Each structure stands twice: as structure tokens, then as C-alpha cells.
């Protein structure tokens, strides 16, 4: 078993270093809360920025240590206790942050633009953004009231939805026995080898949702109604405009991307129809077979083989990329195999102030495990480029969060296809295309659905029938004849929890952006663009200091132009053509 080493963050919760840092954090926070902001812009801004950076440099490792401990040991009581404590401390930071924001907004943009002090120059974008966003803040009284009402309103609706779907169970026949499964377990059967099981799981799932549909529809109406109202009060044209603004994007860029995606939908339908044919269906792919395996792969990797494969292929890109992964392995930043009490999935956590990352995997030796490893080490490489960044500037927006990860995943996937035999190539390609279809076609259906709900909610609550119809319409618009019309999924709005957060509106298009932006960069790399590696590293560094359009422009890419997006989609199109040829 290969565990990660967390002792290089803190030896333990009880250790003097952890406890001393916690005490020091509370002292610094008290100082930040009482910090006086005067007419002297340079002096006050410097004082706040220095103090806030110092607070975050302590808060972040203390918090991540608890979070990481919990993620591999869910019964660790100290981790639960300190996560809660630090979560509350983090919430306390909102007050001095809003005070500073309003103070910055009381100066004009030129004051920020003309700063000469080095620390302030580096925080120019940060301050400009605070100033611009201040225009959308309500009065202090309203903000406090709103956040308290969210607790008992929209957040409570979200909790209700989570409880209803979390507790919902359904009976299904498996291997001749009747079993009682949760919704998550039922959904996991979507990739089962036996098509009869996949179909039964899908029907059982739809039946189960019908039992809670009225309650979760009420929750959805409550949350979307709240967001429509508050978004308007803040001065945004729509919840979409607000979401786009918050992800440092602009509507022209979003339109260019969506328009290119719409143009290429027929390409994805071609893949869906081929997959349907391979599985013996005549009228397109039934929803329950979207994740069906079409062949088996006997590609297995030991952890050392996977490591070596990733390192060798990272080296084809750059020595630095390879070294960043080597460092993660050498310093035990990676937690490898599944074990009891460890959560599922995979993630990468940055510990910027300490020049470290941690990567959690659930590696079992499959090929997917290798691409996941490359993906998460790609995130670690993004962190690596930000190791010297100020804590206030260590965050990048969602649309750019998957750039390095998908780029690295693409390097490794392409290398694997090159050395694969025909059966393996089909397996790898299909996995990759299946994933892209989710990120392009399904994400687009979710985007259309969410927009329909927000628009219609202005006139009143949507009934269960209206929600189901809106979802089917969205699937028809995007999947088209690629899906079998008799087997679509009218309850996808009950399945994705992001619709039920008043804070994560349109938590869909940033993922399409992430995939296509990374693929677009990869296309430039493949085309032999000179100086690519250095420019790419700089681009990753820029992700925390510019809006999305400018980050892309720093590499000469115009994301407001449809051509860029069409070129990215062209890479997936090539894969689909190759898949169709190989399965002929
Ligand atoms: Zn990722």
C-alpha cells in the first residue's frame, strides 16, 4: 500500500506546530478584523494585503491538513472537529474582506492603476476585480440578511433534496436475488457488462425518482426563484450573466463556444449511433447504454508501470513537467490504492504556501487509473507553476481549472493509443469519446435545461411535468437522433445535485470550456507552435491574475472567435472518425 505523507504539512493535530499555528492564526485574524483603513491608499492597502496573505498562509495548510486526513480516514474525529473549527474561522474572514472591498471601491480605478509599490502592483488585478464586483454588492444590512435567509431558505431546500435522494432506495433483481440499492449504486450499474442489468437499473431509477418528484421539484423552484430574485437585485441581467461574470468569462466568449458546439453535435450523434449499432440497437442509443462497455480490455498496470508510463510521456513534453511528477512521487504526495474509510474518486489539492500538492487516487491497475493519474498530476503541475504566488492570488476560475489536467491526460491517452493493438485502441478511444460526449453533449443539455428553468421560473413555479418535458426537450436538442427517443432520461434534474445550490448556478458550461480550451492548446502544441512550453507555463501562471479572455490572449488565442472552438472540437471529431473506422 502506498499512502501519502501528510507529516510534511503537520506532524499531527496534537503537535505543537499545528496548535501554535492555530493560535497564531486567531491572533492574525483579530488583527485583520480591527485593521483601520484610512485615506492613505498605499499604506492601508499594503497593510490589509500583507495581513490577509499571512492569514491565508496559515489557514490554508491547517484546513487542508484536516481535509486530507478526513478524505482517507472518514472516521477521524480530530479531522472532523478541526474542519468544522477552520470552516467557521474561514466564514469570519468575510466581514473584513467585504469591508476592504467597499473601501477599495471608494477610490477610483486610476488610484489602483497608478500604484507603484511592488506588492500592490502584483495585486492590481485583484483590487480592480474587487472594485468592479463591489458594484454588485448590496448594502451591508441587506447582505447580512440575505446570507442568513439563504441558510434557512435555499440551503435548506438543498439539504432536503440531498436527504431525499440520499435516503431513497429501490429494489432490483441482480443474479436472481432481490437487492435494495441506493440511487448512486443504481447509477453505477450503467456501466455493468450485462445489458439487461443496465436496462433494469435505469427503469428502477426512473421509478424511484417518481416517488420524490413533487418534493424535489418544490426544492428546485425555491432555489431557482431565490437566485432569479437576488441576481436581479444585485444588478445582473440574469443568473447566467452573473455566473459568467463570476467565472471571469464574458457572454461573447460563451456564445462563440456554444455555437461551435452546436455545429458539431451531428459528429457526436454519429458516434452514438455507431455505439448503438455495436450494442444491437436500431433507433439510436438508449440512455441506459451511454456508459455501456463495448469491449473488454486486458490492459493492466502495476503502480510502478503506471508511474513510469506517465513519467516517460510527461518527459516528451518537457523535463520540468516530468520533474514535477517525479517530485510528487519522491516526496510521497500521492495516496494510491483504495482502502476502508477512504473516499472514492480522485483529486489534487494545492498547498501553495508550502510549495506542495497532494494527489488522492483510487488506483486499481486499470488503464483508466493511468489517465486519472496523469490528470491529477496535471493539476499538480498547475499548482507547481503557482508555488511562488501570493495567497490572495492563488485561485483560478472554474473554466481554467482543468487546463493542465486535461492537457496531461491527452498526452498520456495519445501515447497509449499509439502503442495499442486494435482492440485496445478501440477501448481507449471509446472511453475518451464517451467522456467527451458527456462534457459536450450532456453538459449542453444541462445548460439548456437550466436556462429554461430560470426563464420560466420568473412567471411562477414549474410543475413536475414541465420539468420533465424541459429535460426531454433539452436532450432532444442536443443528443438528437443519437439517443433512442423511447429511452431518454426525464429525471436528470433530480440526478445532478448542482442545480440545488444557490451558489453554483450553471455549473456546467465551465467543464465544456475546460475540455475544449485544453484541447485547443494541445492542437497548437501538436502543430509545432514555437516556444510552446514556455508560453504554456506563463499561461498557467496567468490564470490567477487575469480574466479568462486575457489569459488566452496572452498566448495569442482569441476565445471570442468560433474558429478556436471548432479546432478543439476537430480533435474529438478525429477520434470519432478513427473509432468509426476501427469498428467498421
Ligand atoms: Zn480535474
The rounded distance, in Å, linking the Cα atoms of 497 and 492 is 10
- The answer to whether residue 220 scores a pLDDT higher than 90 is yes
Q: To the nearest whole number, what is the mean pLDDT of the chain?
A: 95
pLDDT in tens, 312-352: 999 999 999 999 999 999 999 999 999 999 988 899 999 98
**243-265 burial by CB neighbour count: b if 16+ within 10 A, else e?**
bbbbbbbbeebbebbbebbeebb
For residue 56, the surrounding DSSP H or E stretch is: helix 41-72
| Ligand 1 geometric centre to CA of 64 (Å) | 18
CB-based contact 414:523 (threshold 8 Å): no
Q: How confident is the model at residue 151 (pLDDT cuts 50, 70, 90)?
A: confident
| Ligand 1 geometric centre to CA of 426 (Å) | 24
The pLDDT of 18-44, averaged and rounded, is 97
Q: How far is CA 225 from CA 405, 445, 457, 462, 496, in A?
A: 35, 21, 6, 10, 18
CB 7: neighbour CB atoms within 10 A? 11
| Ligand 1 geometric centre to CA of 358 (Å) | 13
Q: How confident is the model at residue 91 (pLDDT cuts 50, 70, 90)?
A: confident
Query: Residue 30's beta-bridge partner residues?
Result: none
Sort 118 into a burial class: Cβ within 10 Å, 0-12 / 13-18 / 19+. exposed
| Ligand 1 geometric centre to CA of 376 (Å) | 6
What is residue 348's DSSP assignment? E
| Ligand 1 geometric centre to CA of 406 (Å) | 7
| Ligand 1 geometric centre to CA of 63 (Å) | 21
For residue 525, give the nearest of 319, 323, 377, 317 by alpha carbon. 317
For residue 1, give the nearest of 378, 362, 372 by alpha carbon. 362
Question: What residues have CB less than 8 Å from 392, skipping those under 6 apart?
Answer: 49, 52, 53, 56, 123, 126
Beta strands in 290-426 (DSSP E): 334-335, 347-351, 356-360
213-222, 289-298, 513-522: segment of lowest average pLDDT? 289-298
| Ligand 1 geometric centre to CA of 239 (Å) | 25
Q: What pLDDT does 190 receive?
A: 94
| Ligand 1 geometric centre to CA of 347 (Å) | 7
Q: What pLDDT does 486 receive?
A: 97
For residue 130, give the nearest of 166, 95, 161, 105 by alpha carbon. 105
- The answer to whether residue 7 scores a pLDDT higher than 90 is yes
The pLDDT of 499-518, averaged and rounded, is 95
- The answer to whether residue 295 scores a pLDDT higher than 90 is no
| Ligand 1 geometric centre to CA of 350 (Å) | 12
| Ligand 1 geometric centre to CA of 271 (Å) | 24
| Residue predicted with more confidence, 1 or 109 | 109
| Ligand 1 geometric centre to CA of 190 (Å) | 22
| Ligand 1 geometric centre to CA of 244 (Å) | 20
The pLDDT of 477-483, averaged and rounded, is 98
- The answer to whether residue 297 scores a pLDDT higher than 90 is no
Q: What pLDDT does 62 receive?
A: 97
CB-based contact 420:241 (threshold 8 Å): no
Q: What pLDDT does 514 receive?
A: 95
| Ligand 1 geometric centre to CA of 346 (Å) | 9
| Ligand 1 geometric centre to CA of 228 (Å) | 30
φ, ψ (nearest 5 deg) of residue 358: -135, 140
Beta strands in 144-234 (DSSP E): 169-174, 177-182
Q: What pLDDT does 153 receive?
A: 93
The pLDDT of 260-280, averaged and rounded, is 98
Q: What pLDDT does 193 receive?
A: 92
Q: What pLDDT does 72 receive?
A: 94
Q: How confident is the model at residue 147 (pLDDT cuts 50, 70, 90)?
A: confident
The pLDDT of 179-204, averaged and rounded, is 94
Cα first-last separation, the chain: 42
The rounded distance, in Å, linking the Cα atoms of 185 and 172 is 11
Q: pTM here?
A: 0.94
Q: What pLDDT does 387 receive?
A: 95
| Ligand 1 geometric centre to CA of 405 (Å) | 6
Under DSSP, is residue 286 helix (H, G, I), strand (E, B) or coil? coil
- The answer to whether residue 60 scores a pLDDT higher than 90 is yes
| Ligand 1 geometric centre to CA of 318 (Å) | 21
| Ligand 1 geometric centre to CA of 125 (Å) | 25
Q: What pLDDT does 143 receive?
A: 86
Query: Residue 69's beta-bridge partner residues?
Result: none
Q: How confident is the model at residue 530 (pLDDT cuts 50, 70, 90)?
A: very high
pLDDT in tens, 365-387: 999 999 999 999 999 999 999 99
| Ligand 1 geometric centre to CA of 519 (Å) | 14
| Ligand 1 geometric centre to CA of 574 (Å) | 23
| Ligand 1 geometric centre to CA of 544 (Å) | 17
Beta strands in 210-367 (DSSP E): 334-335, 347-351, 356-360
| Ligand 1 geometric centre to CA of 435 (Å) | 13
Q: What pLDDT does 56 receive?
A: 97
The rounded distance, in Å, linking the Cα atoms of 103 and 114 is 17
The pLDDT of 400-424, averaged and rounded, is 95
The pLDDT of 519-546, averaged and rounded, is 95
User: What share of the chain has pLDDT > 90, as a percent?
Assistant: 92
| Ligand 1 geometric centre to CA of 200 (Å) | 31
Amino acid at each position: 500500500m502506498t499512502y501519502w505523507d501528510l507529516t510534511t504539512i503537520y506532524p499531527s493535530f496534537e503537535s505543537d506546530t499545528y496548535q501554535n499555528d492555530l493560535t497564531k492564526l486567531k491572533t492574525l485574524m483579530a488583527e485583520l478584523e480591527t485593521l483601520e483603513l484610512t485615506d492613505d491608499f498605499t499604506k492601508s492597502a499594503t497593510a490589509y494585503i500583507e495581513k490577509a496573505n499571512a492569514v491565508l498562509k496559515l489557514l490554508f495548510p491547517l484546513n487542508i491538513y484536516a481535509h486530507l486526513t478526513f478524505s482517507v480516514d472518514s472516521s477521524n474525529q480530530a479531522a472532523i472537529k478541526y474542519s468544522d473549527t477552520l470552516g467557521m474561522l474561514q466564514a469570519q474572514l468575510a466581514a473584513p474582506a467585504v469591508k476592504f472591498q467597499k473601501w477599495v471601491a471608494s477610490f477610483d480605478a486610476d488610484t489602483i492603476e497608478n500604484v507603484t509599490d511592488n506588492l500592490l502592483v502584483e495585486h492590481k488585478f485583484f483590487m480592480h476585480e474587487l472594485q468592479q464586483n463591489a458594484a454588485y454588492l448590496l448594502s451591508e444590512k441587506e447582505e447580512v440578511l440575505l446570507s442568513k435567509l439563504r441558510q434557512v431558505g435555499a440551503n435548506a431546500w438543498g439539504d432536503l433534496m440531498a436527504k431525499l435522494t440520499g435516503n431513497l432506495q429501490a429494489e432490483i433483481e441482480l443474479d436472481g436475488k432481490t437487492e435494495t440499492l441506493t440511487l448512486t449504486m443504481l447509477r453505477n450499474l450503467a456501466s455493468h457488462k450485462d445489458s439487461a442489468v443496465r436496462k433494469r437499473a435505469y427503469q428502477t431509477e426512473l421509478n424511484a425518482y417518481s416517488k420524490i418528484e413533487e418534493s424535489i421539484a418544490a426544492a428546485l423552484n425555491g432555489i431557482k426563484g431565490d437566485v432569479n430574485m437576488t441576481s436581479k437585485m444585485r444588478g445582473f441581467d440574469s443568473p447566467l450573466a452573473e455566473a459568467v461574470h463570476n467565472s471571469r468569462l464574458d457572454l461573447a466568449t460563451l456564445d462563440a463556444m456554444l455555437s461551435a458546439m452546436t455545429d458539431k453535435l451531428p459528429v457526436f450523434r454519429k458516434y452514438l449511433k455507431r455505439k448503438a449499432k455495436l450494442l444491437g440497437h436500431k433507433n439510436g442509443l438508449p440512455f441506459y447504454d451511454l456508459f455501456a462497455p463495448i469491449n473488454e480490455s486486458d490492459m493492466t498496470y502495476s503502480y510502478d508501470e503506471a508511474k513510469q508510463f506517465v513519467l516517460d510521456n510527461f518527459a516528451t513534453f518537457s523535463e520540468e513537467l516530468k520533474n514535477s511528477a517525479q517530485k510528487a512521487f519522491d516526496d510521497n504526495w500521492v495516496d494510491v490504492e483504495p482502502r476502508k474509510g477512504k473516499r472514492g474518486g480522485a483529486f489534487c489539492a494545492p498547498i501553495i504556501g508550502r510549495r506542495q500538492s497532494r494527489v488522492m487516487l483510487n488506483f486499481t491497475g486499470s488503464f483508466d487509473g493511468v489517465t486519472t493519474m496523469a490528470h491529477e498530476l496535471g493539476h499538480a503541475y498547475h499548482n507547481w507553476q503557482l508555488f511562488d504566488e501570493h495567497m490572495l492570488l492563488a485561485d483560478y476560475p472554474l473554466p481554467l481549472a482543468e487546463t493542465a489536467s486535461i492537457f496531461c491526460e491527452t498526452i498520456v491517452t495519445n501515447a497509449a493509443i499509439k502503442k495499442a493493438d486494435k482492440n485496445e485502441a478501440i477501448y481507449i478511444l471509446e472511453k475518451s469519446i464517451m467522456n467527451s460526449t458527456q462534457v459536450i453533449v450532456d453538459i449542453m443539455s444541462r445548460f439548456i435545461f437550466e436556462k429554461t428553468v430560470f426563464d420560466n421560473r420568473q412567471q411562477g413555479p414549474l410543475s413536475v411535468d414541465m420539468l420533465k418535458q424541459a429535460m426531454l426537450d433539452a436532450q432532444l436538442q442536443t443528443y438528437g437522433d443519437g439517443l433512442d427517443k423511447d429511452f431518454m432520461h426525464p429525471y436528470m434534474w433530480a440526478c445532478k445535485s448542482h442545480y440545488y445550490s444557490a451558489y453554483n448556478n450553471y455549473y456546467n458550461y465551465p467543464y465544456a470550456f475546460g475540455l475544449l480550451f485544453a484541447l485547443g492548446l494541445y492542437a497548437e502544441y501538436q502543430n509545432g507552435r514555437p516556444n510552446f512550453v514556455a508560453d504554456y507555463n506563463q499561461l498557467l501562471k496567468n490564470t490567477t491574475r487575469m480574466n479568462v479572455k486575457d489569459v488566452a490572449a496572452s498566448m495569442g488565442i482569441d476565445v471570442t472567435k468560433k474558429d478556436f472552438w471548432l479546432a478543439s472540437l476537430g480533435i474529438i471529431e478525429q477520434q470519432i472518425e478513427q473509432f468509426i473506422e476501427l469498428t467498421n
